[in-house]
A and B are shown apart, each in its own frame.
Chain A
Amino acid sequence: MRAFLSRFVRHRPAVLGLVILLMVTAFALLAPLIHPASPFGLVGRPFQPPFGEYLFGTDQLGRDLAAALLYGARTTLLIGLIATTIAVLVGVTIGGLAGYYGGRLDAALMRLTEIFQTIPFFLFAILLLAVLTPSIVNVIIAIAVVSWPPMARLVRGDFLAMRDREFVLACVSMGMSNARIILRHILPNTLSSIIVTASLMVATAILIESSLSFLGLSDPNVMSWGFIIGAGRTAIRTAWWVCAIPGIAILLTVMSINLVGEGLNDALNPRLRTL
């Protein structure tokens, strides 16, 4: 654990990413304390520029952008995390079963995965939301449904490689059950690549969520960064800040998650690094 931390800390950009990410998380958690009123409340004249009466100004309806940003962070992070968790669970289960048992089960599960992979993922997400009606739960489902296939492929590959390793044969010859071999021996050994991929999936999930809300395909009753941009896009020439500020927030968050993911990769898979 200490070796892991020291390797992670050695990766400077990752530390920077972690700091930004922690700040975003802190703001999201503390949103109701910093700004107790609803972010949908009208506070003043519309299109006030930033650094005036309100820190980030107001939007086309006269809502406080800073409040919208704070509450938007909650939605964005929450959707990113939950959608990724679901996608990881599905992906690991399908990939793990396919890789471990092989044969027909593998063929069937991989064909299923390929069906999902052949449909452009963003169009698929739009289609799902159009069918399911946009609500926060459905947004999460849509993102999870389009994100699990790469994870399934990765885990399948790792399981396949692990399956013929002698330590797994030793487990079999002890009389261990398949469930125990998978959960106690193979899974922990593939955990590092799962964690790394999952961290990058969170970033992708946030981007998908933002794009969906930009298109108006998200819950209209929940504030999110993509929603702010989508609502402000018609006024981009007169009031650039309505789009720019949440855009920068998305950029920073996604970048910081990517940096953390890279740092985790270097720290968890030290063998991949060259001397």
Chain B
Amino acid sequence: MTPEPDLLSIERLTVDLPSWADRRHAVEDVSLALRRNEILCVVGESGSGKSVMARSILRLSTSRHVQPSAGRILYAGEDLLEASAERMRALRGSRIAMIFQEPMTALNPVLTIGRQIEEAIAVHVKRSPRERRQQVLDMLAAVQLPDPERIHASYPHRISGGQRQRAMIAMALILEPDILIADEPTTALDVTTQAQVLALIREMQQKRRMAVLFITHDFGVVAEIADRIAVMQHGRLVEHGAAQDILERPQHAYTRSLLAAVPDLAPAPARHDFIGAATALKVSGLQKSYRGKGLFRAAARVVHAAKDVAVEIRRGETVGIVGESGSGKSTVARCIARLVEPDAGEIRVGEVDFGRLASRALRENRKRIQTVFQDPYGSLDPRQSVGSLIAEGPMIHGASAEAARRRALELLALVGLDARSADRFPHEFSGGQRQRIGLARALALDPDVLIADEPVSALDVSVQAQVLRLLAEIRERLGLSVLFITHDLRVAGQVCDSIAVMRHGEIVEFGRTETVFNAPSHPYTRTLFAAVPGRAWSQRRAAARESS
């Protein structure tokens, strides 16, 4: 196959950051070409400048302080950085289209889907209303939306996230652009929906011989969809080339470290079998449902977040709960920690009937279950110093200020942070460091059970690997019993001894990690595994590692 000519070329692009930022350029001296009929993935961690670069192509700057200062972006011989505002408006949407991460905010909530897409046509070409409508309906059908007539008349909040992203794609492609820029288009979607949307983008790209610039942080997605890959770090392009070369023979040290940080889609070697070990946590018959507040009681919608959930964790064991968003996994975690009151069910922590405790007894026993939360920015009180955040727990339970402070320093050392961190405030730390602080806080009370609720989901892949390693090490050292909530099967495989798969508030499959991975029995589990992006790549990689 002869390489296609360049459709868009970025030449030595530099984008400045405002003077108070921690570095001078968002994008620095990046040269990259996009060819017809290919998907070029730009991969990088947060802050790598990948989104700023993509937005510079359409001159969509979020701030007047973030502006290109050098370089050219050539599209069909024309420098887009020099083009007039009017010319850019003519190009946007018609020749170069863009889709965004969060389709809910990228669509106007007060207009129907149909109206919004028709508007995209009306801005650029003259067509009769009937032609426009027909064109939109055809497009909605082309992106495999069920019942295009209904979707056409729907408001964005009436359809699901995956459908919204399809509608966004329909809107982007309606004028048959040469170039589609996709900025993390599947990051907000569940894994099964993500797989469908990725397949759709690939299919539309091939049908129309489009060029797609695909921005992502997820190497699984890259492996699934990329023809070529460009890796960015700190605003610079560190490496680019054919997908297979980069994935299998990365040259740059940064690319190698990124790839190494992606966990395999395979169970880690089993640690123990935990047969006969004492039970740390036993949950049975847990029920929780949410009632929508309808104006009329009969019309109120009931959502079962937990239906008869049973989980047992033995001392030292890590049990994972895996599921998509809305499966009820976080509700289960919060019910077990009694942060949400369950409707029914028994929760026993060792000998204590934790589910039946009330008021003072509950407060005193809360230290038995501690949680590490998902959001590294929201889970630490911004007005407390790190030392007092960690020391506060022991102090409530009667430790002296002196002893609590000593304990906090010990824990900071345990999670790999400097003792000086104790006097600093949460905003001075990065996301990964904050999760370490959150872990230290949870450990300060010597809990019998540690609940980790998506502790690494908000972190970049390299930081994620560090935090997981730390968690594994501490778990081993302290013999912790852990309930690990995640949506990511790769992560679950690395951390968990047993896995429960949840769907619509029910545990559909429960078993040893290697059994769930190698011989899943429930069809839903198999669907989940099939949807994991970059699955084939992960398996090849695991096989290659084994043979060498």
Contacts and interface: CB of A to CB of B under 8 A. Distances in A.
Contacts of B369: 173
Nearest to B393: A174
Interface stretch (B229-237, B298-306, B370-378): B370-378
Interface in A106-164: none
A166 B452 CA distance: 13
A188 B365 CA distance: 27
Given A169-B339, A174-B396, A275-B63, A185 B384 contact: yes
B363 A167 contact: no
B367 A175 contact: yes
Contacts of A165: 378-379
B441 A170 contact: yes
Contacts of B373: 166, 169-170
A175 B63 CA distance: 44
B445 interface: yes
B375 A166 contact: yes
A177 B375 contact: no
Interface in A163-218: 165-167, 169-177, 180, 185, 188-189
Given A167-B378, A189-B382, A175 B339 contact: no
B379 A170 contact: yes
Given A166-B375, A169-B339, A169-B373, A174 B367 contact: yes
A101 to B, nearest CB: 14
The range of chain A's interface size is 10 to 19
Contact of B363 (A169, A177, A188, A189): A177
A275 B65 CA distance: 8
Contact of A174 (B338, B438, B445): B445
A221 to B, nearest CB: 45
Contacts of B383: 185, 188-189
A203 B334 CA distance: 45
A170 B442 CA distance: 8
A167 B362 CA distance: 19
B380 interface: yes
Query: Could you say which of A169, A171, A180, A189 has the most chain B C-beta atoms within 10 Å of its C-beta?
Result: A169
Nearest to A172: B339
A169 B381 contact: no
Contacts of B367: 174-175
Contacts of B380: 167, 170
A274 to B, nearest CB: 8
B396 A180 contact: yes
B65 A175 contact: no
B292 interface: no
Contacts of A176: 363, 392, 396
B337 interface: yes
A175 B384 contact: no
Which of A166, A171, A180 counts the most B-chain CB atoms under 10 A from its CB? A166
Interface in B439-465: 441-442, 445
A174 B392 contact: yes
Contacts of A185: 381, 383-384
A39 B511 CA distance: 88
B396 A275 contact: no
B331 to A, nearest CB: 13
Interface string B48-64: 00000000000000011
A228 B511 CA distance: 84
Contacts of A177: 363
Given A175-B363, A177-B363, A166 B393 contact: no
B375 A175 contact: no
Given A173-B371, A174-B393, A166 B363 contact: no
Interface in B412-447: 438, 441-442, 445
Contacts of B63: 275
Contact of A173 (B18, B370, B374, B382): B370
A185 B379 CA distance: 12
B397 interface: yes
Nearest to B369: A173
Given A170-B371, A173-B369, A275-B18, A189 B337 contact: no
B378 A174 contact: no
Contacts of A188: 383
Given A170-B373, A275-B18, A189 B366 contact: no
Contact of B339 (A173, A180, A189, A275): A173
A82 B365 CA distance: 44
B378 A175 contact: no
B364 interface: yes
Contacts of B375: 166
A169 B371 contact: yes
A166 B374 contact: yes
Nearest to B62: A275
A173 B397 CA distance: 12
Contact of B337 (A171, A173, A180, A275): A173
A33 B65 CA distance: 54
A189 B364 CA distance: 26
A185 B388 CA distance: 12
Interface string A253-275: 00000000000000000000001
Interface string B296-340: 000000000000000000000000000000000000001001110
Interface string B349-373: 0000000000000111111011101
A158 to B, nearest CB: 13
A137 B145 CA distance: 70
Given A169-B373, A170-B373, A175 B337 contact: no
A93 B509 CA distance: 49
A175 B396 contact: yes
Contacts of B441: 170
B378 A166 contact: yes
Interface string B237-276: 0000000000000000000000000000000000000000
Nearest to A181: B381
Given A167-B378, A185-B381, A174 B65 contact: no
Contacts of B364: 175
Choose among B364, B380, B381 the residue with the greatest number of A CB atoms under 10 Å from its CB: B381
Nearest to A188: B383
A176 B381 CA distance: 14
Contacts of B392: 174, 176
A1 to B, nearest CB: 12
A175 B371 CA distance: 12
Nearest to B372: A170
Given A177-B363, A275-B65, 6 more contacts: A165-B378, A166-B379, A170-B441, A170-B442, A173-B371, A176-B392
Interface of A: 165-167, 169-177, 180, 185, 188-189, 275
Interface of B: 18, 63-65, 334, 337-339, 362-367, 369-371, 373-375, 378-384, 392-393, 396-397, 438, 441-442, 445
Give the 10 A-B residue pairs with the shortest CB-CB distance, closest first.
Answer: A175-B366, A166-B379, A166-B373, A175-B363, A174-B393, A188-B383, A167-B381, A166-B378, A275-B63, A185-B381
18 contacts: A166-B378, A167-B379, A167-B380, A167-B381, A170-B373, A170-B380, A170-B438, A171-B381, A172-B339, A172-B366, A173-B366, A174-B370, A175-B367, A176-B392, A176-B396, A177-B363, A180-B396, A275-B64
